[in-house]
Chain A
Amino acid sequence: MHPPTRFALANADGEEMHFPPDGPVLLALVKEDCDTCNLTLPLLEAVHRATEDGLDVWVAVQKRDDIAVLKDRHDLTMPLLDDDALDLSYETDIDTVPTLFLYDEEQNCTLQTFGFDKHEWREIAGESMTLAGRSGGDTAIDWEALPEQRPGCGARNYEPGVYERLQALKSGDLLSRLVDLAASDDIHEFMYEQGYTDGFPVVPPTRERVWKMLQGTPRDPQDEVAVMPPNLAPITVEKIAINAVMAGAKPEYLPSIITLVEIACTESFNIHGVLATTMGATPVGVFNGPIRDRIGMNYLHNALGSGNRANASIGRALRLCARNVGGSVPGGTDRATQGGPHRLTMNFAEHEDASPWESLAVERGFEPTDDVATLMAMSGGPATVADERSRDGRGLAGTLALSMSCMQDPKSPMVDTLVVLSPDHAGIFGRSGWSKDDVRECIMEETAIPLKDRLRSADAGCGLPPDIVERFGGEAALDMPVSKFRDKSNIILVVAGSPAAKFSTILGGWAGGAYSLPTSGKIGV
C-alpha cells in the first residue's frame, strides 16, 4: 500500500480533479458492494461537512456505475471520483476497501488505515478536524453507536482476472508487439491464417495470460534464453511464455519449457539439424526428479501418449517456439519428408520407482533430487515390442535385440536408440539381477551379424558401402561380427508406463549420431 502523491480522476460530473488539492486532504478508496464501505461513507461525509473548506475529503469509487448509487444511497456531497480503470487503486496497491489516507497541508501522508477500526477512524476524524483548524470540533458522528471493528472487503484491483489484467497492462513487463484483431476476426481462424499453430487450435496469447504464465518463473521476461535456429533469432523468457500459453501450458511448467529451449539450442543437440532433416527427426524429452510429481507429469498409463496436460503441452511449447521464433516451418527449413505424429509433441517422465536401476538423469551425472530434462533426437518409432513370455533377462534382451535389429533397415548400423521399458519388463531385468550394461551388452551381441550381411548389395541398396571392408582389413573381415550399435552407450534405457503389461517401446535415433547428441539440463526456476 503506497499513499499516492499525484493523480487525476474525473468526478461525478466528468470534471477532472487533480490530486493533491491545496491544503490538507482525506482520501478514501471504496466500492459499492462492501458493507464496511457503506458503514463508513456516512462518516466520511460527516467529516466533509464538519471540516467545511478547511480540508478536502475525496472518495475514489472502484466502479463508475456505483458513483450515482452511493451518492443517492448516502446523500453524499463530497467529491466522488471515478476509478473505474483502477489506475489509482493499482498505483496505490490497496488490497482492501475502504482504505484511508490523511495528508497534511504539506501533502505528507500522516495517517492511514483500512477496513473499520473505531479507534483509528476516530483518530483520523479528530486529526482531520485539527488540520482543518477546527481542533476539538464536533463531527456529529455517534461513535458509541458504531461497532469496534469491521473487516474491509477485497479491493476490486485484486479480484481474480482483474489483477492479472492490471499487471499485464501496467507492469511494463511485456514488450512483445501487440497484434490487433478486427471485430469481425475469429481469433482461432486468425491464428491459423497467421501460421502461428501446429495445425491444432492454440490458446490465444492475451497479455493477461502471458503475464500469468510469466509468474511461473522469477526470471526477467526480457532475459535472452538462447538463439533459436534456424532463423537464429534471440528467444526471450517472454517469447517462450507466449508460445507456452499457446501450447496450453500452466505457469508451473514454464521453467521446464525454458530448460528444453536452452538444451535444444545447444551445439550438442543441434535443433537446427533435427528439425531440418529430411529424415523427420524430432526432440523427445524425458523428465527425471521430483518435478515429475510436482507438476503432475504422467509416467503411468499412456505415458508416451495423450491425456496429460504437462506431458503434452511442454513438448508442444518447444515445438511452437521453434516454429514461431525459430522459423521452422514444414516446406521451409523443416524439410521432413514424411514426419510423424511425435513431431507435434513427445515428452514424458521416467517411472523412477518402477525401475530397478538408477534413473536416466542420475546415469548422466545428476543427483536423484535434481529436476532434469533430457532431449534426444528421434526419428523412428515409437514401435512396440511385445514379449509376454520371457521370464528372465536373457530372453527379454533377446526379444529387444531382434526388434531393434531391423530399425531403419536390417543392415545399417544404428546410433542412439531410446528403449522405454514398461515396469513389467523392467521388473524382469531387476529380478534377474541384470544391470543396464548387462542388457546393453546382450543387445550388442545379439544384434551382431557378419560384416558381409551389412554391406549393400544388388538385392538391397541399404547398408554399408562395400569398400568399407578395406577399413576392417579386407576380405578376411567379411565374416567379422558387427553389432547393430556402434557402442553400448547408444542404447538408452528408461522406464515408463503402467504395470501389468509386458510391452515396451523403442524409438530410433536420427541416423548419423554425432549430428545430435542426447543433451540434459537441470531445470532451474
Chain B
Amino acid sequence: MVTQILDPTDERVPIKRSLTPRPEALHGTIALLDISKPRGDVFLDRLEELLHERAPGVETRRFMKPTVAKPAPQPIKDEILEECDFVIEALAD
C-alpha cells in the first residue's frame, strides 16, 4: 500500500494577499491598460469618457501591452506603478 508520495508541485506555500485598502474617492491618475485584444480600445475609450464625465479632475493615461500573448513588460509595469494611482485593465475580448 502506498503510504507516501513525492510532491509533484513547486512546493510554494500559498501566500494570502490582502487587497490594498480601497480609497474613499477617485483621485490622481488612472492607468487604462489595453492588453492588445480586439476591441479593448473600444471598451477603454468608453470607460475613459465616463471617467472624465463622472470624476472630473481625475486624469487618465493609456497603456498598451505589445502582445496579448505575453505578460506586460516590466518597464510598462514600472511606469504604471510610479506614475499612476489606479489601474484598470481591459481583459479578453
Instruction: List chain A positions with a Cβ less than 8 A from chain B.
Output: 174, 176-181, 183, 187, 191, 196, 204-207, 210, 228, 231, 233-235, 238-239, 242-243, 246, 270, 272-273, 276-278, 320, 324-327, 335, 512, 514-516
Secondary structure at the B interface, as helix, strand, loop or mixed, is: loop
Which residue from A181, A239, A515 sits with its C-beta under 8 Å from B2? A181
CB closest chain-A residue, reference B92: A278
Tally the A-B contacts, defined by beta carbons under 8 Å: 85
The smallest beta-carbon distance between B74 and chain A, in angstroms, is 13
A352 and B41 alpha carbons, distance in the complex (Å): 48
Which residue from A205, A207, A276, A335 sits with its C-beta under 8 Å from B8? A205
Known: A177-B7, A515-B67. A204 touches B2 (CB 8 A): yes
| A174 and B10 contacting across the interface, CB-CB below 8 Å | no
Which residue from B3, B6, B69 sits with its C-beta under 8 Å from A515? B69
| B8 and A178 contacting across the interface, CB-CB below 8 Å | no
A162 and B5 alpha carbons, distance in the complex (Å): 17
Which residue from B4, B10, B69 sits with its C-beta under 8 Å from A277? B69
B70 at the interface (CB under 8 A from A): yes
Q: What would be 8 A-B contacts, judged by CB atoms less than 8 Å apart?
A: A179-B6, A181-B4, A196-B8, A205-B8, A272-B69, A278-B92, A324-B9, A512-B68
When distances are taken between beta carbons in the complex, the residues of chain B under 8 Å from A243 are: 8
When distances are taken between beta carbons in the complex, the residues of chain A under 8 Å from B5 are: 178-179, 181, 187, 191, 204-206
A235 and B11 alpha carbons, distance in the complex (Å): 11
| B69 and A177 contacting across the interface, CB-CB below 8 Å | no
A235 and B2 alpha carbons, distance in the complex (Å): 25
When distances are taken between beta carbons in the complex, the residues of chain A under 8 Å from B92 are: 278, 335
Which residue from B4, B11, B67, B93 sits with its C-beta under 8 Å from A206? B4
Known: A181-B2, A273-B70, A277-B69. A231 touches B10 (CB 8 A): yes
The smallest beta-carbon distance between B19 and chain A, in angstroms, is 19
| B6 and A207 contacting across the interface, CB-CB below 8 Å | yes
The smallest beta-carbon distance between A288 and chain B, in angstroms, is 27
A381 and B39 alpha carbons, distance in the complex (Å): 27
| A210 and B71 contacting across the interface, CB-CB below 8 Å | no
A231 and B70 alpha carbons, distance in the complex (Å): 13
B12 at the interface (CB under 8 A from A): yes
| A233 and B12 contacting across the interface, CB-CB below 8 Å | yes
When distances are taken between beta carbons in the complex, the residues of chain B under 8 Å from A235 are: 10
The smallest beta-carbon distance between A153 and chain B, in angstroms, is 29
| B8 and A246 contacting across the interface, CB-CB below 8 Å | yes
When distances are taken between beta carbons in the complex, the residues of chain A under 8 Å from B69 are: 270, 272-273, 276-277, 512, 515-516
A276 and B6 alpha carbons, distance in the complex (Å): 27
Please give me the 10 A-B residue pairs with the lowest Cβ-Cβ distance, nearest first.
A233-B10, A273-B69, A515-B69, A177-B7, A324-B8, A176-B6, A187-B2, A242-B8, A204-B2, A324-B9
